[in-house]
C-alpha cells in the first residue's frame, strides 16, 4: 500500500475489500443462489449443494480479479494457531495452457493430511484422514502476499469419523447449545422463538508488545520461546505510569495506521488503539461481532499484527509474559448474549419485563461460574498464562464475579425474597411485573476482577494474549447453557404444576443467589486479604496449568459437555492430553534454550571477565597499587559465575524431571545470570538489555 493510495481512498472504500462480503455475493451470484446462501448464513445451516458450484465459481472470479492464484481451507487445529494448505486454481486445458477452476466440492470440503496435527489419540495414526468443511457464517477472505494472493475459506476440521479435531467445531456446537437454552427461556418469557436463534457476541481486547527486530534477532530466547528467559529489570520501567494512554511514538503510529488499514481491508472492525501499562506494550480492540466471526477475526488479527510489525522493522510479541518484572499481556474477552428477540440480554432494560430477562441471565452466570470455576480456569491454562494469573498484575487464578454496588444491592434484595425499588423503600414481589427499575449505568470500574460486569456485557479478563478465544468461549457458552437448562427445567415444571410464572421465577432466582453468592466479590482482587477470604468461601485457586487441567477429568464436567453435545468424553480427554503435552513441551523447550544460552553465551564471557580482572589485580600488585575494590568485584563475579555453573548443572539434571522442577531450576539459574548482567561490562554482554528492548523503538 502506498501513502498516496491511502490518501485518496477513504476507509469506506477500502473497508472489507479483501472479503467476499454480502455485497460481493450479491454482485457475483444469481438471485436464487444469493438468497439461498444468505439464508444459510443467517440460520447457521449447511449450504445447499445445488448452489455450491455457482458460489465457488463466483468466489474464484472475485478472488482472481484481486490477484489470487490459490485457495486454501483455513482452519484452527488444536495447536492453537491457524493452518492452511494452498492449492492453485490452475487446471491444464488440453491445449498446453491452463484455466482457473474452483468447484463446489473444493469449496465445501477439503482433505488435508491430518496426520501431523495433534489429535490426542483421537485418530489412529494409520487412519490419517481429516476433513475440512466450509463455515459459511465466516466469510472467505484474501490474504495478500508481496506478489500473489490466496483465497482463504474458513473451515471446521474433523476426522473421518466426525470427531472434532479443531477449535471451531466445538465452538459452533456450543453456540447451538447456548441458543437452544436461551430460546427455551425466551419461550417462558412469552417471546416468539419460531425460526429464531440466540447467539453470543464477543469483543476481544488484544494486548501485545513490539520490539525492534534487530534486538529480537539477537535473542535466542525470544526467537525460540517468545519470551526472555534472562534479563534484569531496568531502573525505570513502568513505575511512573507514564506509558498508559500516553502519546504514541511516530514509528509505532505508522505501524498502527498500517495495521488498522490491513484489518479494515479484511472486514475486521478495528476500533481502539492505545499504549498499555508497560513501555513497548499496546492494545487493539475491535467493535464486537457475533462470536464465531469475532474469534476468526482475532486469529487473523494476531497474524496481521505479526505481519505488519515485520514490515515496520518490529517483531510483535504475543506471549503473555515476554519480560519478567513488568506487566504481561492478556486478552479481555467481552461476552454477551443476543436473544431470539434480537436484544442484548445483558443490557438492563427500561421496563420490568426486560429487567426480568436481564436478572435471570445475571443469576444464570453466577450459577455457571460458581459451579464451573475450575473448568473455566482450565480454559485459560497455558504455560505462558501461568506467568500472569497469580501475579499481582492480572486477575488472580481465583474466579469471582464483579457486579458493582448497585447490581449487588439488587441481588441482595432477590436473596431476601423480594426486590424493593431502588427509589422507594417498600418491598415488591420479584416478578416480571414487579421488578424495580434498574439504574441506567449499573457498573463501577474494577480493573482487578477476573469476571466483571461492565454495563451490557461480561468481561472475562483471564485469557492470555497468545491464546485463541475459542477455548474460553466454548466453556462460557456451555456452562451458561447448562445453568439455563436447569433454570428452565425448574420453571417449566413449576408452570406445569399450575404455579404463577412470576412467583416461580422469584423462588428460582432466590435459590440461585443463596447458593452461589459466594462467587460475588466487588473488592480488590489483587490483595492477600481476598486470597484468604476466597479460601474461606471455598473458591478454588488453581495456580498452574497442571492443576487447572485436572478439571477436564471431573465426571460432572464430562457429562455436561456430553449432554449439550459440545464435546464427547473422548474429545474432551483428547484436549486434556494435548494441552498437557503442549505445556510440558513448552517448559522443556524453555529449559533447553536457557541452558544453551547460559552455556554458550554467558559462561564464556563471565570467565573471560574474571580472568581479565585477575590479570588486572596481578598488574596492580606488581606496581604496588591497592586492589581491594577490584578484588571484591572479582569475588562477586566469581561467586555468581559459580552459582550459574551450579544452576546449569541443576537445570540439566531437571530436564528429565517434572515441569515444576524445570521451572524452579530455570528460576534459580536466572537469578545468577541476571546478577551477572548487572556486574559485567555492557560492551561484552551478549544480549540486548531490557532497557534497549523496552525503550528503543
What residues line the site for Mg ion (CB under 5 A)?
205, 332
**Which DSSP symbol is given to 229?**
S
Kindly tell me the burial class for residue 602, based on how many C-beta atoms sit within 10 Å of its own C-beta (0-12, 13-18, 19 or more).
Answer: buried
Minimal distance in Å, beta carbon 458 to ligand ADP?
9
Length of the chain counted residue by residue: 697
Q: Does 202 bind ligand ADP (CB under 6 A)?
A: yes
Distances (CA, A) of 679 to 235, 285, 399, 506: 15, 42, 42, 68
Nearest to 407 by CA among 448, 462, 341, 361: 361
Output the smallest distance, CB 452 to Mg ion, in A.
Answer: 8
Q: Residue 177 CB, nearest distance to ligand ADP (Å)?
A: 19
Q: Which residues are 270's β-sheet partners?
A: 286
186 Cα distance to chain centroid:
30
Site for ligand ADP in 224-253 (CB under 6 A): none
Residue 319: which of ligand ADP, Mg ion, none does it interact with, CB under 5 to 8 A by kind? none
Q: Provide the pairing of β-strand 427-428 with 419-420.
A: antiparallel
Q: Given the complex with Mg ion, which of 166 and 205 has the nearer CB atom?
A: 205
Paired with 150 in beta bridges are 70, 143
Q: How far is the CB of 525 from ligand ADP (least distance, A)?
A: 16
**Nearest residue to ligand ADP, by Cβ distance, number only:** 203
Residue (167 or 457) nearer to ligand ADP, CB: 457
Nine cell digits for residue 328:
504481561
CB of 292 to ligand ADP, least distance (A): 13
Any idea which residue has 453466577 for its cell? 366
630 binds, among Mg ion, ligand ADP, none (CB under 5 to 8 A by kind): none
Whole-angstrom distance, CA of residue 508 vs CA of residue 502: 10
* Smallest separation (angstroms) from Mg ion to the CB of 391: 18
Out of 203, 267, 330, 340, which residue is the one contacting ligand ADP (CB under 6 A)?
A: 203
Residues in contact with 327: Cβ distance below 8 Å, sequence separation at least 6, in sequence order:
238, 276, 277, 278, 281, 393
Piece in contact with ligand ADP (CB under 6 A), picked from 200-208, 353-361, 391-399, 479-487: 200-208
Question: 371: closest CA among 518, 567, 178, 174?
Answer: 518
CB contact at 8 A, 467 and 419: no
Q: Minimum distance between the CB of residue 165 and ligand ADP, rounded to whole angstroms?
A: 28
Q: Residue 70, Cβ neighbours under 10 Å: how many?
A: 19
**Residue 285 binds which of Mg ion, ligand ADP, none (CB < 5-8 A, kind-dependent):** ligand ADP
Minimal distance in Å, beta carbon 545 to Mg ion? 24
Pairing outcome for strands 90-92 and 98-100: antiparallel
Stretch that binds ligand ADP, among 452-460, 490-498, 560-568, 685-693 (CB under 6 A): 452-460
Q: How far is the CB of 210 from Mg ion (least distance, A)?
A: 20
Q: Is 198 an interacting residue with respect to ligand ADP (CB under 6 A)?
A: no
> Which of ligand ADP, Mg ion, none does residue 438 bind (CB under 5 to 8 Å by kind)?
none
Q: Which of residues 271-300 bind ligand ADP (CB under 6 A)?
A: 272, 285-288
CA distances from 130 to 13, 75, 468, 525, 662 (A): 39, 12, 21, 44, 36
- Cell triple for residue 129? 484422514
Q: Which does 336 bind (CB under 5 to 8 A by kind): Mg ion, ligand ADP, none?
A: ligand ADP
Write the DSSP symbol of residue 416.
Answer: T
Question: Closest approach of Cβ 356 to ligand ADP, in Å?
Answer: 19
Q: Does 189 bind ligand ADP (CB under 6 A)?
A: no
Backbone torsions φ then ψ of 543, nearest 5 degrees: -75, -30
3-state helix, strand, coil in the chain (%, to 5): 50, 15, 35
Give the residue with the Cβ less far from Mg ion, 194 or 445: 445
Distance CA 415, CA 438 (A): 17
358 binds, among Mg ion, ligand ADP, none (CB under 5 to 8 A by kind): none
| Count of residues of this chain found to bind ligand ADP when the rule CB under 6 A is applied | 17
Query: Where does this chain touch ligand ADP (CB under 6 A) — which range of 118-126, 224-232, 327-335, 582-590?
Result: 327-335
Q: Which stretch binds ligand ADP (CB under 6 A): 125-133, 201-209, 297-305, 664-672?
A: 201-209
Residue of minimal Cβ distance to Mg ion: 332
Report the partner that residue 457 touches, choosing among ligand ADP, Mg ion, none (CB closer than 5 to 8 A by kind).
ligand ADP
Instruction: Please name the residue that has the C-alpha cell 445447499.
Output: 48
533: left (phi over 0), alpha (psi -120 to 50) or beta: alpha
Find the shortest distance in angstroms from Cβ 283 to ligand ADP: 7
Stretch in the footprint of ligand ADP (CB under 6 A) among 331-339, 493-501, 625-633, 650-658 = 331-339
Using CB atoms within 10 Å of the CB of residue 577, give its burial: 0 to 12 exposed, 13 to 18 middle, 19+ buried.
middle
Q: What is the DSSP letter of 600?
A: I
Closest separation in Å from C-beta 396 to Mg ion: 17
Our CB check for Mg ion shows the closer of 355 and 446 to be: 446
Binding ligand ADP by CB under 6 A: which of 36, 336, 478, 586? 336
Rounded to whole angstroms, how far apart are CA atoms 420 and 435?
Answer: 8
Which parts of this chain interact with ligand ADP (CB under 6 A)? 201-203, 205, 272, 285-288, 332, 334-336, 344, 456-457, 459
Amino acid at each position: 500500500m502506498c501513502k498516496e493510495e491511502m490518501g485518496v481512498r477513504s476507509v469506506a472504500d477500502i473497508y472489507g475489500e479483501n472479503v467476499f462480503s454480502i455485497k460481493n455475493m450479491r454482485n457475483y451470484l444469481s438471485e436464487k443462489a444469493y438468497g439461498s446462501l444468505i439464508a444459510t448464513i443467517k440460520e447457521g445451516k449447511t449450504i445447499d449443494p445445488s448452489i455450491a458450484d455457482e458460489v465457488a465459481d463466483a468466489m474464484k472470479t472475485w478472488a482472481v480479479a484481486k490477484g489470487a492464484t490459490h485457495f486454501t481451507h483455513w482452519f484452527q487445529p488444536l495447536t492453537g494457531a491457524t493452518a492452511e494448505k494452498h492449492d492453485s486454481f490452475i487446471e491444464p486445458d488440453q491445449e498446453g495452457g491452463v484455466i482457473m477452476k474452483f468447484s463446489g466440492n473444493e469449496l465445501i470440503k477439503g482433505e488435508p493430511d491430518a496426520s501431523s496435527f495433534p489429535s490426542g489419540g483421537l485418530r489412529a495414526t494409520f487412519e490419517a484422514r481429516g476433513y475440512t468443511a466450509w463455515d459459511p457464517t465466516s466469510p472467505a477472505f484474501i490474504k495478500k502476499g508481496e506478489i500473489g494472493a490466496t483465497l482463504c475459506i474458513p473451515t471446521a476440521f474433523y476426522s473421518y469419523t466426525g470427531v472434532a479435531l479443531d477449535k471451531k467445531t466445538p465452538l459452533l456446537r456450543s453456540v447451538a447449545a447456548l441458543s437452544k437454552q436461551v430460546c427455551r427461556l425466551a419461550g417462558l418469557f412469552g417471546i416468539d422463538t419460531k425460526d429464531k436463534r440466540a447467539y453470543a457476541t464477543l469483543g476481544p481486547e488484544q494486548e501485545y508488545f513490539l520490539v525492534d527486530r534487530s534486538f529480537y534477532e539477537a535473542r535466542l530466547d525470544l526467537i525460540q520461546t517468545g519470551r526472555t528467559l534472562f534479563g534484569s529489570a531496568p531502573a525505570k520501567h513502568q513505575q511512573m505510569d507514564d506509558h498508559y494512554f500516553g502519546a504514541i511514538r511516530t514509528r509505532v503510529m505508522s505501524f498502527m495506521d498500517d495495521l488498522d488499514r490491513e484489518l479494515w481491508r479484511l472486514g475486521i472492525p478495528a476500533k481502539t488503539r492505545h499504549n498499555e501499562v508497560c513501555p513497548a506494550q499496546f492494545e487493539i480492540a475491535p467493535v464486537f461481532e457475533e462470536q464465531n466471526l469475532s474469534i476468526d477475526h482475532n486469529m487473523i488479527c494476531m497474524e496481521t499484527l505479526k505481519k505488519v510489525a515485520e514490515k515496520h522493522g518490529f517483531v510483535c510479541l504475543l506471549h503473555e509474559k515476554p519480560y519478567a518484572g513488568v506487566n504481561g499481556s492478556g486478552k479481555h474477552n467481552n461476552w454477551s448474549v443476543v436473544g431470539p428477540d434480537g436484544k442484548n440480554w445483558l443490557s438492563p432494560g427500561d421496563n420490568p419485563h426486560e429487567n426480568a430477562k436481564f436478572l435471570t441471565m445475571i443469576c444464570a452466570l453466577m450459577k455457571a461460574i460458581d459451579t464451573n470455576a475450575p473448568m473455566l480456569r482450565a480454559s485459560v491454562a497455558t504455560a505462558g498464562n501461568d506467568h500472569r494469573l497469580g501475579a499481582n498484575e492480572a486477575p488472580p487464578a481465583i474466579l469471582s464475579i464483579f457486579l458493582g454496588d448497585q447490581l449487588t444491592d439488587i441481588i441482595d434484595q432477590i436473596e431476601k425474597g423480594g426486590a424493593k425499588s431502588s427509589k422507594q423503600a417498600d418491598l415488591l414481589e420479584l416478578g416480571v411485573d414487579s421488578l424495580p427499575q434498574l439504574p441506567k449505568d449499573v457498573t463501577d470500574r474494577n480493573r482487578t476482577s477476573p469476571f466483571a460486569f461492565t454495563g451490557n456485557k461480561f468481561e472475562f479478563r483471564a485469557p492470555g494474549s497468545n491464546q485463541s478465544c475459542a477455548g474460553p468461549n466454548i466453556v462460557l457458552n456451555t456452562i451458561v447453557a447448562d445453568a439455563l437448562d436447569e433454570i428452565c427445567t425448574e420453571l417449566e415444571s413449576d408452570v406445569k404444576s399450575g404455579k404463577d410464572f412470576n412467583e416461580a421465577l422469584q423462588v428460582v432466582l432466590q435459590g440461585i443467589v443463596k447458593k452461589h453468592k459466594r462467587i460475588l466479590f466487588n473488592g480488590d482482587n489483587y490483595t492477600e486479604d481476598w486470597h484468604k477470604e476466597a479460601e474461606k468461601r471455598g473458591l478454588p485457586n488453581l495456580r498452574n496449568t497442571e492443576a487447572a487441567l485436572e478439571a477436564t477429568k471431573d465426571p460432572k464436567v464430562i457429562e455436561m459437555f456430553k449432554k449439550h453435545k459440545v464435546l464427547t468424553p473422548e474429545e474432551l480427554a483428547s484436549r486434556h492430553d494435548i494441552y498437557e503435552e503442549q505445556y510440558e513441551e513448552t517448559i522443556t523447550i524453555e529449559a533447553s534454550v536457557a541452558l544453551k544460552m547460559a552455556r554458550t553465551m554467558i559462561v564464556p564471557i563471565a570467565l573471560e571477565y574474571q580472568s581479565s580482572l585477575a590479570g588486572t589485580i596481578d598488574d596492580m600488585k606488581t606496581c604496588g597499587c591497592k586492589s581491594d575494590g577490584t578484588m571484591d568485584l572479582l569475588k562477586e563475579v566469581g561467586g555468581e559465575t559459580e552459582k550459574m555453573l551450579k544452576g546449569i548443572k541443576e537445570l540439566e539434571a531437571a530436564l528429565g524431571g517434572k515441569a515444576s522442577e524445570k521451572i524452579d531450576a530455570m528460576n534459580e539459574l536466572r537469578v545468577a545470570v541476571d546478577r551477572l548482567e548487572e556486574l559485567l561490562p555492557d560492551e561484552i554482554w551478549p544480549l540486548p538489555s531490557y532497557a534497549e528492548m523496552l525503550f528503543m523503538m
